[in-house]
Each structure stands twice: as C-alpha cells, then as structure tokens.
Structure 1
Amino acid sequence: MVWPPEAAEEGIGVVDTYGAQTPPAPHPEQPAVDVLTDTAAVLFQDRPVLALSSWLGNALLSAVAEERHVQIVTPPHTLLTLPARLALAEVEGRWVVREESGGYYDGLTGAVLRWQGDSFAPVPDSSRETGGTGTAAAFAPVPNPDERQLLLSVRTCHRADEHLLLGGSLEAAWQHLTGAAPAAWGTAEPAGLPWSRRNLTDFARERAPRPTRLVVVGAPGRPAVAALNILRTADGVEEDINLGVGYGKGEEPPFDALADLAHDLASHHHLRSALFHVRTGRRDVNAPASFETPPIPLALALGAEEARRTGARGEKVPISRPPRAIGARRSPGRYFYLGEADSPSNWAALRSLLGHLRGQDA
C-alpha cells in the first residue's frame, strides 16, 4: 500500500510486497516512515532536494535504535545535500532511486536494486563470473567540467573547561576559503540560527556528555555547508568537521590557502588531523543520483600530537615534497602536499604516505 493513495499516480513509487507479511504501523512520532518492516524503515520522498531535516534526522535515529536499515526512495531528479549524505552513510542507510521505467538503483553506487522480502537489496549480476551486482544505465555520469567542490575533513580536540569556545576551527576554515564567517547554524537543515560560537558552545554544553550533530551554512554568494559533530571523550572535547565549498565556471578554488589554513588550525585550534580533497561536482555541493568522479586528495595535515606519534617517519616521507612544519615551533605539526588538483596518482601518494607514517610496508 502507498500513502497517500495518489502517490502511485504521481509516480512516487510502489513497492512490490507480494508475499510479505503486513508490517506494523509506523510510530505516531515518526510520520516520515512510510513502510516499516522487521529489517527496514522505508521513506518515500518526492522533492527536488533531500536535506537533513529534523524529521529525517529523527527517523534515522529511531531506525538505528530499533536495528532497522533506513532506505529513502526518491525520483531520479532529487539531489542529496552533504549533511544528509553523511548522516545516511553513518547509519549505513541506502538512497533508493526509482527510475521512470519502474526499476530501482542505489543513488550513490549505481547498484541495481529490487524489493526482496522486506527491504531493497542489490540484484546479483549473473553475467559476472565473480559475482557482484550490476550497475543501472541511469547512473551514467553527467558531464560537468566547469564546477568543482573543495572538501575538508578536520578533527580537533580541546581541553574541557569553562573557558572553552567551540566552532573556532570551522570558522577559521570558512574565513580562509570564502573570506567570510559562516552565516548560520542549527540542528537540522535548513539551518536558521545566526552564526554564534557562544550560542553553539552553550547548546553543546547543555547536551554533554551526549554527542551533538550540527549543520552550518554560508552566505548564498559562496555555496558552503558543513556537518559538525561534537563529542565528549577521555581526551577532551572533539570536533569532527566535514566541510564542502562549491566553485563554478571561472571560480578557482583557493588551493594556495590550504597550507596557511592548516598552520592556523595547528597554531590556534588544537588540530589533530585534516584531509583536503577536490572533486568535479555541483557548485551547490549537492549530490545527484548519477556517477560522480571520486575526489582527489590534495594534502594531509597532522597536529603536534599526531606528528609526534609518527616520530622520525614524519620527517622523511615517500612523496614528492618534504613535509612543511605547521603550528608552534617547539612542537610543530606536519603538512604533507600530495600533488596537483588534477592528478589521480595522489591516491597512491596518500596510501604510501599513510603506510609509511604507520610504520607499515608500502
């Protein structure tokens, strides 16, 4: 069954549940869930952009607590925001795209899907001798050479005390890459609270020791969005940041600013590690339901503590350039340049570097 009934006529999608037992009704507090089975919570969404709204976040948390997989069904034209994509990946959920022909595929991997028993699952490809699944023809790449995304993954750790003010590392990244501070923050999309490190810190402190997940956005002139996770650990208060900044035709990402940003993070914001990527992708930083080229790593930065753990291995490394010292002179971190923005060989350089730093054979 589909609710509302006219959803089938509008082409939102019909799940073939022939032979399946009637699932229990959704929880009253989770109206977003359309089909609830023993193993999956299925949501049908027909909207241009699927964001990490409050109801979607609650549905994800509820499904995880009940040990169900989240599966979100959308039409092919739907875009997935960066925070929604990260949240779905964290709970091992699936983005199910319904083709006009009635078939289904995974919006992030292209795997052909089918309703099997009580959830969507990949269809084995009988043409492959080694097994595996087929890829939907609709998952073909959409040429987009003029737009790019700069992607940052940053981890910091602060000593927990009454003077702690969070959000500094994210604000520094925003300033270095866009020339302005973030515009707004919130617990879901759309983020509507004016940017304030004090208010953000007070909110996280009230929730401690529970973790806090936040969404941060920039001004419309420069598309940028971040997912910020704040976690209380034995070492202190950790901030895990995933930031995406979009650039269109004629807009060159500020690659030269990355080393200075890493130095700032190591000097003033208790950097643990940072990884910088670039990819060909939409300027609005949303993900389409089609193939996107993988991001290319540009640089790896380690804070003083992480650099100290690598010992002498952090001085002489198997990459084209020697590491650059960042942060305090007495206890510096390290910035490792991996290669040019259009070089796929950067992945091999990153693997070799990480193996070397960990004391493993290449």
Structure 2
Amino acid sequence: MTKDVIALTPTMPDLNTVLAGLYAGGPDLGVNTTADGAVVQLCAPDGRPLVSVEAPILVHIPGETTRLLDCPAPDGPVWWTEARASTAVAEAGRLAGSFAGRLATVLGGTVWPPEAATTDVVPLTTDVTAVPVPTTATPAVDVLTTTTAVVIQDRPLVPLTSWLADALRTATAADRALQIVTPPTARLTLPTRTALRGLPSRWVVQHPEHGYYDGLSGAILHWKNGTFTPVRDNNGTAQAAEAFETVTGTGERQLLLALRTRHPADTDLVLGRALETAFHHLTDAPPAGWSTAEPVNLPWSTRQLTDLARSRAPQPTWLVAVGRPDRPALATARVTRTPAGVEEDITLALGYGTDETPPLNAIEPLATALATEHGLATLLTSLRTARRDLTVPPHLEAPPIPVALTLGHNEVEHIDRTRAEHPPLGPTPTRLGHPARPALHYPLGEGTDPRSWVTFQHLTRHLKQG
C-alpha cells in the first residue's frame, strides 16, 4: 500500500472535519503542527509523527488531478489534501487512509488510491519504543544520513509536490543529496526529473529481480557509506541494469525547448511573457496554470508570478506551468537576479502521439517573437522519441536530436556578428528581427537524423572561438 494518501473533496475541509479525520487513531494519539501550522501531524504517545497532513490546496486547473494521479479523477476545482505516512510504523499507512476516508465521507469526495480509503479506527499496536526515533523533522524524508536524504515513494507517478520541494530545499541547504526510491512501475513528472538533475541526487529504482539501479542512467547501485552509489568493476566502470536497457518503442515524441531570456531589472518588468508566447505559438493558447510545486493549482497570471519573484529577490524563484489536458505541455522556469539583469531559464516540453505532427514550422516565427519582444538570449529546439504524456519511465530513452539554435541579438554581438553569420561548416543562419541588430536562427534538421548533433557541435565550437 502506498504511504501517500490524498483526499479530493468539493469543499475545503474545515476544522471539525480535520479533527474527525485525526481521530482515526483513537484518543490515545496526539496532534502536533509544524511549518508554521501548514502541516498537521498525528503522533504516537511518545510524540513521534505517524501521519503528516499538508494544508489543503484548491486545484483550479482542468485535468491536473488526472495527470498526477495517473487515473481518472475529479476535475477541478477540487480541494487536494495530502497525507504522508511514516514508513517506520506499520499502522501509519492505514491511519493515513482512515484520515483521508473520513474527510471524503463527510465532504462527499474521493480518496486516492481508492483501496486506501477507510473510516475505521486504527489502533496503534506497534511498540514504538522499539522503533528508532527518526533523525529528520522533514515529513517527506524517510532516511537521513550525513550525506543523503532518502525519500521512499510507492505511487505510479511521482510529482514534485510541496513535500518533495521542501525535502529538496532542506537537503540542498545542508549540502546533502536527495535520492528518491521507487518500484520499477513508477514514473517521474518532468519537474521531479529536473529536481534530480546533478549527481549525487538520484532516482533509485528498487527492482525485485535486478536490485537497485539508477532510473535515469541505468547504473547498478548499492547502499554504501550512507548513500546509493554505483557498483563499479575493477576498472572503475559502472554497469547498466538489464531492466533499464529493455525498451519498447511507442512512436510517440516530445518537442523540447530550452529557452533563456534576459531583461533589464526595472519596475515595469513583467515575467512569464516569453513562456506565454511559446505556449501561444505551439498550442494556440496560454498556459492553463502555474505554481511552485505540483499539483499546479493557480490559473495562469504573469502579474502574480512576477510579484512572487520580486518578493523573493535576490533569491531565485522556481515555477512550473501546464497546458490544456488535450495538448500535453509542461514547463519549468527559474527566475534569477544577475548583474546583467533578470534572467529566465525555461524548459518547455510538448507531447505528440503517433498520429500527431510536432509544429516545427512554428519554431522560427516563435524565435522571431522572442527575439524582438521578450529579450531572447538563446533558444535550443530539439525532438525526441519519448512518451506523449511527458512522464519519465525508469528505462533507456533516446536522446533528443537538435532541430534549431537561435541566438538573440545581444548574444550575436557578444560573439561578433561576422563570425556568427559565417560558420565554416554550416548551417547558414537566418536573420530575425531588426536588420541592424538581428538575432540569428540556425536550422539543424527535422529532429530525425542523429548526425544533426555533429553539425550542432561544429557550430557551437565555432561560436565559442575568439
């Protein structure tokens, strides 16, 4: 049974309903609050947390609950109340299910996963005095060592919830790796995949036949010195797990854009417009919603995300945006204050089925709009064979193949326009925008020929010279 249980209700759980849910363990258990009251914990008599319940989130975005729960679910608006059970005490999972079941029964909602729902009182029979006291106060973390925070997730799709985002921030601040352990049936959302970028943070897959392996690289892993690390042979080489290399093609594809913008840091700056423009060109609609974690719960608003980034400056702001349910589109963006101004680093992914054609003809017009109106620095467009739903499975996926590279006019001037316009081995760039200060757009192919990487490497090597 999963250790995460979610109540989806049409109305917000009030205090009395939450208290009724917390009575799932009977009168002998206690209640505590953390995170300035944002998390309520059901505790054993000795005070250790058994179930941690996050403040309810109102999800407005159509299709968001179905996307993250990987099954049909009530569409928005819906209140999402997530409970996470301790993995150290056997009854904790059933306590979380009873808490969520009570909320759903009182408010007329549903529970995910459905089999976890109950309204029974779950007495604590484990002798908690024999269970080691957890060394972490972060609800999402199951094992904490001097080097690593380990999170165990047993759910079909692992989103970057506020639980995980908090675990990542805490681990990073303490100079620890974040390692997520899942069964081989699990997949990651792209925001979770992005959060694990950079070793020694890892996605650790626990396979019943193949042991532990890295869900992103395939390296066989073992637990050593308080962290999951690759098993290496006498030559120091890591081996890939057999389960990772087993791939079944579906014919589905993803269009990927890596976009960076730079703006003067003035009071009139509105962020998010470059991302909004990309959505319009590629999906014929703006993003449906945005948030700083999953589920995405806020309707799209460039003004609101600008206000958030400004309130957090000079610290960076990270956010995620989603598109409509009928067109899988998911973006992450990081807003950073730099000496040059305010930069947005955006990654946008769009999914296409076997009967759908990625809109490659929209890339050059999009690049023109970004260069002339939204402070484009660089745009790299690529295409890959991967799942239409944009989730990340724990097996080998083909690398993306570059389609086009675009340089904004400031980048062109920094490189030297004459050199940028005449790469000796091609491709010949197209001028975009203002004739006196053009951006340059380099076509690299249709995203089907791996030799485009050679062309791209020759081009970037030429551009970096001088």
Work out whether 1:170 is the aligned partner of 2:275. yes
Larger displacement relative to structure 2 (287-296 or 117-126): 117-126
2:172 paired residue number: 64
Dislocated runs of 4+, deviation >6 Å? none
Equivalent runs, 1:236-251 vs 2, <5 Å: 236-251=341-356
Give the distance between the partners of 1:4 and 1:220, measured in 2 at CA. 38
Give the distance between the partners of 1:91 and 1:232, measured in 2 at CA. 25
Check conservation: 1:323, 1:335, Cα contact below 8 A: yes
Give the distance between the partners of 1:118 and 1:23, measured in 2 at CA. 17
Equivalent runs, 1:1-362 vs 2, <5 Å: 3-5=88-90, 25-28=134-137, 30-90=138-198, 92-101=200-209, 103-126=211-234, 130-311=235-416, 312-359=418-465
Q: What SS does structure 2 have at the residue aligned with 1:200?
A: helix
Distance apart, 1:131 and its partner CA: 3.2
Distance apart, 1:142 and its partner CA: 2.3
Give the distance between the partners of 2:283 and 2:196, measured in 1 at CA. 27
Give the distance between the partners of 1:102 and 1:173, measured in 2 at CA. 42
Give the distance between the partners of 2:227 and 2:254, measured in 1 at CA. 33
2:49 paired residue number: none
Q: 1:327 corresponds to which letter in structure 2?
A: G
Q: 2:301 corresponds to which letter in structure 1?
A: S
Which deviations, in whole Å up to 9, do the C-alpha atoms of 1:61-105 show, x marking residues without a partner?
A: 111111111111000111111111111115741000000226100
Give the distance between the partners of 1:180 and 1:4, measured in 2 at CA. 47
Distance apart, 1:2 and its partner CA: 5.1
Larger displacement relative to structure 2 (325-334 or 183-192): 325-334
Distance apart, 1:322 and its partner CA: 0.9
Q: 2:338 corresponds to which letter in structure 1?
A: T
Distance apart, 1:318 and its partner CA: 3.7
Check conservation: 1:64, 1:91, Cα contact below 8 A: no
Check conservation: 1:140, 1:290, Cα contact below 8 A: yes
Give the distance between the partners of 2:337 and 2:465, measured in 1 at CA. 29
Distance apart, 1:319 and its partner CA: 4.4
Give the distance between the partners of 1:266 and 1:92, measured in 2 at CA. 36
Give structure 2 stretches of 5+ with no counterpart. 1-85, 94-130
Check conservation: 1:149, 1:285, Cα contact below 8 A: yes
Q: What SS does structure 2 have at the residue aligned with 1:89?
A: coil
Distance apart, 1:5 and its partner CA: 3.4
Give the distance between the partners of 2:443 and 2:200, measured in 1 at CA. 32
**TM-score of the aligned structures, taking structure 2 as reference length:** 0.71
Q: Which has the higher contact order (CA 8 A, sep 6+)?
A: 1
Give the distance between the partners of 1:34 and 1:23, measured in 2 at CA. 12
Aligned residues: CA RMSD:
2.0
Give the distance between the partners of 2:92 and 2:206, measured in 1 at CA. 13
Q: What SS does structure 1 have at the residue aligned with 2:437?
A: coil
Distance apart, 1:351 and its partner CA: 0.8
Distance apart, 1:23 and its partner CA: 9.0
Q: 1:185 corresponds to which letter in structure 2?
A: W
Larger displacement relative to structure 2 (212-221 or 130-139): 130-139
Q: What SS does structure 2 have at the residue aligned with 1:42?
A: strand
1:245/1:141 CA distance change after superposition, 3 Å: farther
CA radius of gyration, larger in = 2
Check conservation: 2:331, 2:348, Cα contact below 8 A: yes
1:153/1:217 CA distance change after superposition, 3 Å: same
**TM-score of the aligned structures, taking structure 1 as reference length:** 0.91
Which deviations, in whole Å up to 9, do the C-alpha atoms of 1:46-67 show, x marking residues without a partner?
A: 0111111111011011111111
Check conservation: 2:275, 2:346, Cα contact below 8 A: yes
2:34 paired residue number: none
Give the distance between the partners of 2:446 and 2:324, measured in 1 at CA. 28
Check conservation: 1:303, 1:332, Cα contact below 8 A: yes
Give the distance between the partners of 1:220 and 1:27, measured in 2 at CA. 38
Check conservation: 1:32, 1:59, Cα contact below 8 A: yes
Distance apart, 1:358 and its partner CA: 1.2
Q: 1:266 corresponds to which letter in structure 2?
A: A
Give the distance between the partners of 2:260 and 2:420, measured in 1 at CA. 19
Q: Percent identity?
A: 49
Distance apart, 1:31 and its partner CA: 1.1
Give the distance between the partners of 2:178 and 2:283, measured in 1 at CA. 35
Q: What SS does structure 1 have at the residue aligned with 2:179?
A: strand
Q: What SS does structure 1 have at the residue aligned with 2:454?
A: helix
Give the distance between the partners of 2:293 and 2:374, measured in 1 at CA. 25
Distance apart, 1:345 and its partner CA: 0.6
Check conservation: 2:279, 2:286, Cα contact below 8 A: yes
1:53/1:357 CA distance change after superposition, 3 Å: same
Which deviations, in whole Å up to 9, do the C-alpha atoms of 1:202-225 show, x marking residues without a partner?
A: 111111111100010011000111
1:141/1:307 CA distance change after superposition, 3 Å: farther
